[in-house]
Amino acid sequence: MKSIVRLSVDVMGGDHGPAVTMPACRAFLQSHPAAELVLVGRPETLAEAAGWPRTRCVTAQDVVDMHDSIEVALRKKRDSSMRVAIEQLRGEGTADACVSSGNTGALMALAKVLLKTMDGIDRPAIASSLPNVLGGFTTVLDLGANVDCGPEHLLQFAVMGSALVSSVTGNEAPSVGLLNVGEEVIKGSDVIKRAGELLRAADAAGQIRFRGNVEGNDIFKGTADVVVCDGFVGNVALKTAEGLASMVSQMLKAEFGSGIASRLAALVALPVLKRFKNRFDHRHYNGAALLGLRGLVFKSHGSADAYGFERALERAYEAARRDLLTRVHDRVAVTLQS
């Protein structure tokens, strides 16, 4: 494990920008004495960090807006905080990982152009963790980077997801499930059936541990450590989970009616709802890895508050400390380049 981890942070990105990222960075430094930060943003924003320990500031004049097109991010905003933050993963004083809560499409496009993909990987994928009823989490990918995937891409996602879980948990053989409309081998589209064949072959060769097809509810049941799917389905699953947690949060704030029976029901239900809210609060799991690149890039939810952004910094820190990049590279080399 690395003794010192240096994170590059785009402090301008996201819905709230420096109002969230700067307090999160300050809190993160206080709780992680082995961490160093490279803060990237406009000079007036970085002035706040003067005197912070283990911090270097790099100025960038442009900001990639949440609604900017990929073309604008790539061609017209060449001095954006997002681009400069990713560039800190190269050259002298190299950062170990980069974190941004900015425009997801722009972040993926810039990362692919600046860092390139690993040999054997066609498309990087977005991977994150969703809580399950076993008290742990299920890693799901892809969560939106690739809407239209072929069987080979799903195999690549399985390999990269396995490496991610191994680096975080120490489990060298995490189980992998293929998201489908049923557990039976005969179910699903031609792409899913062919992906299943590739995954079973990889399992037979000892390259991954494939448990077979899983359904949507298996994500939250903890049936598999890793669940692979295309980006369209994965993003829907992610937003559904976030929406459910938000709904429970709203229920906790709302009145349960004015009658005695309603208030008694509330007294019984509130402790359960609070435990559910705390367990499934997506802020705890904020920070998605962009896997398959020649550098570690983490995406924070654009609407994250300071607590959520700090969690994203922690995820990037742990991934870099446990050398996730090498783990992914080695698994890809063994499984996809052999």
Give the pairing of strands 55-59 and 35-41. Answer: parallel
Question: Does residue 252 share a domain with residue 132?
Answer: yes
327: in domain: no
Whether residues 80 and 220 fall in one domain: no
Give 18's Cβ-side CA count (13 Å radius): 14
Structure tokens at 75: 């061609």
- Residues 258 and 133 placed together within one structural domain of the fold: yes
273, burial (CB in 10 Å: exposed 0-12, middle 13-18, buried 19+) = middle
Please tell me whether residues 73 and 139 are part of one structural domain: no
Domain that residue 219 falls in = 122-286
Asked, for residue 333, whether it belongs to a domain, the answer is: no
**pTM (2 d.p.):** 0.89
21 in any annotated domain: yes
Answer for the pair 39, 11: CB distance below 8 angstroms, yes or no.
Answer: yes
CATH of the domain at 217: 3.40.718.10
Give CA–CA dist 107/82, Å, rounded: 7
Does residue 329 belong to any structural domain of this protein? Answer: no
Contact present, 140 and 242 (Cβ < 8 Å): no
Same domain? For 131 and 277 the reply is yes
First to last CA, the chain: 27
Helix (H, G, I), strand (E, B) or coil at 141: strand
Cβ(13)–Cβ(63) below 8 Å: yes
For the chain, 338 residues long, the average pLDDT of each consecutive 10-residue run is: 92 96 98 97 97 96 95 96 96 88 96 95 93 91 92 96 92 96 93 97 95 94 96 88 67 57 55 55 82 96 95 96 93 78
pLDDT of amino acid 260: 61
Buried b vs exposed e over 278-311: b needs ≥16 C-beta within 10 Å? Answer: eebbbbbbbbbbbbbbbbbbbbbbeebbbebbbb
Same domain, 140 and 1: no
- Whether 108 and 134 map to the same domain: the answer is no
- Is residue 328 domain-resident? no
211 in the same domain as 158: yes
Q: Domain for residue 15, yes or no?
A: yes
Residues 62 and 137 in one domain: no
Are 146 and 194 part of one and the same domain? yes
Residue among 45, 37, 54 nearest 12 (CA)? 45
Do 112 and 190 belong together in one domain? no
Same domain membership, residue 177 and residue 148: yes
Looking at the structure of the chain, the number of domains it has is 2
The answer to whether residue 338 sits within a structural domain is: no
* Residue 44 φ/ψ, nearest 5 degrees: -65, -30
Structural domain contains residue 5: yes
Q: For residues 206 and 226, what is the distance between their CA atoms, to the nearest angstrom?
A: 16
d(CA 298, CA 319): 10
Nearest one of 43, 37, 36, 40 to 4, comparing CA atoms? 36
pLDDT at 201: 96
